[in-house]
Structure 1
Amino acid sequence: MYIAFRELFNNYIFLSAFAFALAFAIAVIAIPAVIRVAELKHLFDEPDDHRKTHVKKTPTLGGIAIFAGLIISFCLLKDFQNLIDVKYLVPALTIIFFAGVKDDILVLTPLKKLLAQFVCAFLIVFLGNIKINSFYGMFGLQEMPGWVAVVFTMLAIITIINCYNLIDGADGLAGSQGLVSALAFGVWFVQTEHWSLAFLSFALAGSLFGFLFFNWQPAKIFMGDTGAMVIGFVLSVLAIHFIELNKALTIAPQYWVHASTSVAIGVMAIPIFDMLRVFALRIMKRQKPFHPDRTHLHHLLIDLGFSHRKLSTVLFVWSLTVILVCSALRDYKSSTLLFILIGIVFIPSMILLKLRNNKVAKSQSKSRN
C-alpha cells in the first residue's frame, strides 16, 4: 500500500492534478477567513453610478486566497531541476502580490503600480533570463537583437498584467478568463512534459476555480488588483515559456506549434484584444489610454441586458472557442492565425459596441420625446 502510494506521487500527471486540487482546497478554505477580515476592517469596494457594475459594497482582497493557493501548491510540488529560474519567479510573484494588496487597501498611484510591475518584469527578464527571443515568423520577422528582446518581453509582461486588471469588472469574469487560459497552457506543458510549468499552470487554475465559488454572481468577494495582477503575471510567464520551449521541442514533437506567438495571444485573446480595442478607441478620441469609460466588453454586454453570470459564461465559452480554433490551426503561419484571431475577437467586439451605442441612442431619443 505504501509503495503504491509512493509511486503515485512519482507520477507527474497525478501531481499536476494534485496541484490543482491542493490550490483549490487552500483557496476555498482561505476565502471565508479573508471575507471576515475584510468585513471587520471595512475593506469594501463601494458601488458607483457609472463604471462599476455591482450594486452593493463587496469585500475585496480575494486575491490573497488566490495567491495562497497558487504559491503553496506550486512551492510544494515544483521540480527545481526542470525550472532553474524559479528562484526569480517566486520573488517576482511575491512583489506583485504585495503591490496588489497595498493597492486594494490603501490605493497606489498608477505610477507606483507600474513601477512594481516593472520590477517584476525586470527580475524575470534580466535575472531569470526568461524572454521572447524571436517573433518566429510573424509578419516575416524572426530573431530579435538582445536589447529588443528584453524591452519587448518586459512590455509584454506589463501589458498582460494590465489586461487582466482591466477586464476584472464583472462577477466571475477575470477568474474564468484566467482559469481557461491556465488550463490551456497546463495541458500543453503536460503533453510536452515540462512538469514544473504544468504544476504552476494547474496551481493557478485550481486557485481560480476555488475563488469562483465565491465570486460567481452574486459575488461574495472580489479578487481586487491583488488577484488580477497575480493572474496576469503568471500567465505572461507561462506564455513566454510556451513560445520559447516550443522552438526546440524534442519531447513529444507532435505537439510542436508552428504559430506559437499567435497561439499564445489566442490563449489570452479576450483580455488582450479588449484592452487594445479600448485603448485605441480612447486614443482616437484624444483621451488617455486609462481614461475611465464604459467601452470594455463587460460594460457593453451589461448595457445590452446581460447579467454578470451570463456575460461571464458567454466570454468563457468565447475564450474556449478561440483556444480550440488556435489548437486546430496551430500549423498555420503566425500572421495568418493572428488575422483569424482579429476576425473572431476584435470584429465581434466592435459589433457589440455598435449595438450598445444604438441602444443608448434609442433610449436617449425616447427620453427626449
Structure 2
Amino acid sequence: MNIFVVAALVAVLAWALTLAFRRYALASSLLDIPNARSSHTVPTPRGGGVAIVLSFLLVLPLLAWWGDISWPLAWALLGGGGCVAVVGYLDDHGHIAARWRLLAHFAGAVWALFWLGGLPPVQVGGVVFDLNWLGHVAAAFYLVWLLNLYNFMDGIDGIAGVEVVTVCGAGALLYGLLGLPEMAVLPLLLAAASGGFLYWNFPPAKIFMGDAGSGFLGLALGILSLQAAWVAPQLLWSWLILLAVFIVDATWTLLRRLLRGDKVYEAHRSHAYQYASRRHGQHRLVTLAVLALNIGWLLPLAVWVAVGGLDGVAGFVLACVPLVWLAVRYDAGKQE
C-alpha cells in the first residue's frame, strides 16, 4: 500500500481517537486543573497522547507483515514504547512513585536496545568508533533521558506535537536525500499520528498530551535516531541536531537546578520555553518559534551533516550555540 495513503489514514485515526479521548475525559472529569506550577489557566482534558500511541503502534504489525519495516524494529517500538506508554497512562490517572516509573523507563529502553542491536558505531571527526557494551549502557541512559526530557518539555500548548512533526518530517527528508526513501516510513507515520493529535492540542489546546504520550514520543524518537545511525553513522548527529531545541532547554534547566540543590523530580515552570511563554503572554508565539528554529536553523545543519559536508560533532555544537544563548536569555533553570 502507498505509504502516503497509510500516513493519511493514521492521521485521521489519531484525530478521531483524540476527539474520543477528549469526550471521555470531559465526561469522566479527567481534567488538568490549573495550579501554581501550571502554564495554563483553564481546566483542560488530559491524556490525549494515547491517541498517538494507539494509531502509530496499531499499524506496525501490518507494516512488518508487508515487509515495509523489519520485525525487530517493530518489536522494539511495540514493547519499549508500549511499556512506557502504559506506565505513563497509569500515572496520568493516579500516581506511580518516581522510582517505579524510572525502572519501567529503563526496562522499555533495554527492551528496545535488545531488538535494535544496541548502540551502533559512533562517528566522530570522520572516524567510526564501536563502543561495545559501554556504548549499549550509554544508549540506555540516552533513551531514558530523551523520554524524560520530552515529558519535561511538554508544558505549553502544541510544543511537543510541533517538535515531533518537524523532527520526523525532517528525518524522513534526510532519508530521501540519501536515496533511502524506504527508510522514511516510520518517521512519516509518527509525524502523521502526532499531526492528528496536534489539531486538538495546538494553542489554545482543547486537550493535553499527558505522560503516556510524551514519554512514548521521547522513546520513539530515540529509537528512530538509533535506527538511523545503524543505516548511516552520521545520521545520529543529524537527529540530535533536529532535537536540539528540546535537548538544550531540558539539559540546561536540569543542570542549573541540580547545581542549586533543587529536587529535580518535583514539578516546576523554569524551562526557557515556559519563561518565554509567560514573558510574551502566549503559548502560540513560543510554539511557532520552535517550529521556525527547527526548520530554519536546525534542518539545514542536519542536512549538511547527513550529506557529509560537516562533521557531526561540529554540527551539533554549532546548532546548540544560539540555543544555549536563548536558554540563558530566557532564564532556563532560574529559581521561580
Q: Tell me the TM-score normalized by structure 2.
A: 0.90
1:34-45 → structure 2 map (5 Å cutoff): 34-45=21-32
What amino acid maps onto 1:151 in structure 2? V
Q: CA deviation at 1:99?
A: 1.1
Q: Deviations over 1:46-80 (max 9, x none)?
A: 1112x211111111110111112212333333444
**2:98 pairs with 1:110:** yes
Relative to structure 1, the CA distance from residue 30 to residue 273 in structure 2 (aligned partners, 3 Å threshold; closer, same or farther) is same
Relative to structure 1, the CA distance from residue 18 to residue 75 in structure 2 (aligned partners, 3 Å threshold; closer, same or farther) is farther
Q: CA deviation at 1:239?
A: 0.3
SS of 2:280 mapped into structure 1: coil
Distance 1:166 1:64 in 2: 17
1:112-191 → structure 2 map (5 Å cutoff): 112-126=100-114, 128-137=115-124, 142-191=128-177
SS of 1:136 mapped into structure 2: strand
For 1:264, the equivalent position in structure 2 comes to 239
Relative to structure 1, the CA distance from residue 144 to residue 231 in structure 2 (aligned partners, 3 Å threshold; closer, same or farther) is same
Any unmatched runs of 5+ in structure 2?
none
Structure possessing the higher radius of gyration over alpha carbons: 1
Q: CA deviation at 1:108?
A: 1.6
Distance 2:89 2:289 in 1: 30
For 2:300, the equivalent position in structure 1 comes to 324
**2:35 pairs with 1:57:** no
What amino acid maps onto 1:317 in structure 2? A
1:247-286 → structure 2 map (5 Å cutoff): 247=233, 259-286=234-261
Distance 2:21 2:267 in 1: 29
**2:195 pairs with 1:217:** no
Any unmatched runs of 5+ in structure 1?
1-8, 248-258, 361-369
SS of 2:129 mapped into structure 1: coil
Relative to structure 1, the CA distance from residue 111 to residue 80 in structure 2 (aligned partners, 3 Å threshold; closer, same or farther) is farther
Task: Give me the identity figure in percent.
Answer: 22
Q: Deviations over 1:252-311 (max 9, x none)?
A: xxxxxxx43332211111111111100111122122433443321221212312411111
The match for 1:343 among 305, 314, 321 is: 321
The match for 1:48 among 32, 35, 44 is: 35
| Residue correspondences, number | 329
Q: CA deviation at 1:40?
A: 2.0
Contact 1:74 1:203 in 2 (8 A): no
Contact 1:93 1:120 in 2 (8 A): yes
CA RMSD of aligned residues (A): 2.3
For 1:367, the equivalent position in structure 2 comes to none
SS of 1:304 mapped into structure 2: helix
Contact 2:120 2:226 in 1 (8 A): no
Distance 1:344 1:74 in 2: 37
Q: Tell me the TM-score normalized by structure 1.
A: 0.83
